[in-house]
Homo-oligomer: A and B are copies of this chain.
Amino acid sequence: MKLSKKTLDQRSEHLYDVIIVGGGMGGLSAAIYLQRYRLSCLVIEKGRGRSFWMQDTRNYLGLPPTTPGRTILQQGQDYLQDLQGDYLPGFVEDVRDEGETFAVKVKVGKKDSTYPVLRSKYLIAASGIIDKLPQLPDMQNVYDYAGHNLHVCLICDGYEIADKQCGLFPSSEAAINTAFVLNWFTPYITVFTMGLFEVGDEMRQKLKDHGYPLIEAPIKRFMGHHHEMTGVELEDSSTISLDVGLIAMGSHYHSEYLRGLDLEWKGNNLITDSATCRTSHPRLFAVGDLKDGINQVSIAVADGTLAATAIWREIRRQSPPRRWQENLSG
């Protein structure tokens, strides 16, 4: 059921088999599998994650490429409810390992918040990442285009960028190298640093050799209408026309709640076993963008399959077998 402040009391003594932190693609996939394995699970979702902002899901087999991420999320939430899984809108503040169980502290409600602690045998970290965006005085101007034709993922949307005039918005000199992957799709690349960082001579020369203009002035605003970005206006009011944009500013990783646990990381990504999505902690699994690997819907959904199946196998093997009593004599 969908839990809230009012109904949460019903679960205060319940020990879930699995609590899943994050109700994106990986978390919902895991939850559906777990409920279908007849285990009890709870998904805790803070809302407005990366897939919520996806306007089109173009690479996921079975759905029209115009399907927004939120449509998939809603289908998953509804199905989870049909399968009697629990879903709680809330923000996981902390996870404590109690030996046999995890204690998960959740902030529920933005006003008059409560801080229930819920417990499970296993934990799946499915809280993902969120892309960093250019910081302009009017952020609404950025939100108007981000996820539409101001893209954040080259694998997802390179096809839509093909042979178009593309603005690249990196957050560091290293991120400018995205241009030399982006140019598989289009050579018409203009790099905007917004004055955020210095560009060394070597990179300047490399861009020049490729014919990619480098614009270092701060940006006043994105131009366009109806979520279709058409260019950039700089602070001096000069403008540059663009067909599309690609933001390469890195990501924020939603993993603060894991800081008290001893886990193996590769940078900001959790290292997991490829066959099970198990982290270095035997009862903690990670799926989707938070784990090391390609950030794609299909991968997160498969991760959910792997983690749920591994947990089911472990619980099943530790459980007594069910016998058909009426056939037993003596």
Contact status A61-B25, CB under 8 Å: yes
Contact status A187-B324, CB under 8 Å: yes
Q: Nearest chain-B residue to A36 (Cβ)?
A: B159
Contact status B61-A36, CB under 8 Å: no
Give A83 to B316 CA distance when docked, in angstroms: 44
Which stretch of A4-12, A97-105, A278-286, A295-303 is in the interface? A295-303
Q: Nearest chain-B residue to A182 (Cβ)?
A: B322
Give A60 to B36 CA distance when docked, in angstroms: 12
Copies of this chain present:
2
Query: Most chain-B CB neighbours within 10 Å: which of A28, A33, A184?
Result: A184
Q: How far is the CB of A192 from chain B (nearest CB, A)?
A: 15
Contact status B38-A61, CB under 8 Å: no
- A71: chain B residues at CB < 8 Å are 62
Contact status A316-B184, CB under 8 Å: yes
- A327: chain B residues at CB < 8 Å are 211-213
Contact status A38-B72, CB under 8 Å: no
Q: Which of A107-136 contact B (CB under 8 A)?
A: none
Query: A323's contact among B59, B211, B301, B322, by CB below 8 Å, is which?
Result: B211
1/0 per position for A230-265, CB-CB distance to B under 8 A?
000000000000000000000000000000000000
Q: Is A195 an interface residue (CB 8 A)?
A: no
Contact status A305-B301, CB under 8 Å: no
Contact status A302-B299, CB under 8 Å: yes
Q: Is A172 an interface residue (CB 8 A)?
A: no
Q: How far is the CB of A43 from chain B (nearest CB, A)?
A: 12
Contact status B304-A61, CB under 8 Å: yes
Query: A305's contact among B35, B162, B294, by CB below 8 Å, is which?
Result: B294
Contact status B324-A309, CB under 8 Å: no
Q: Is A181 an interface residue (CB 8 A)?
A: yes
Q: Is A218 an interface residue (CB 8 A)?
A: no
Query: A293's contact among B58, B155, B275, B301, by CB below 8 Å, is which?
Result: B275
- A141: chain B residues at CB < 8 Å are none
Q: How far is the CB of A32 from chain B (nearest CB, A)?
A: 6
Contact status B210-A323, CB under 8 Å: yes
Contact status B36-A58, CB under 8 Å: yes
Q: How far is the CB of A301 from chain B (nearest CB, A)?
A: 5
Those 6 A-B pairs whose CB atoms lie nearest each other, nearest first: A302-B302, A274-B274, A211-B327, A211-B324, A187-B322, A36-B159
Task: Give 26 CB contacts A-B under 8 Å.
Answer: A32-B61, A33-B59, A36-B59, A36-B159, A37-B158, A37-B184, A38-B159, A38-B162, A61-B76, A62-B62, A62-B75, A83-B159, A180-B321, A183-B321, A183-B323, A184-B322, A186-B322, A188-B324, A211-B323, A211-B325, A211-B328, A212-B324, A298-B301, A299-B302, A299-B306, A301-B301
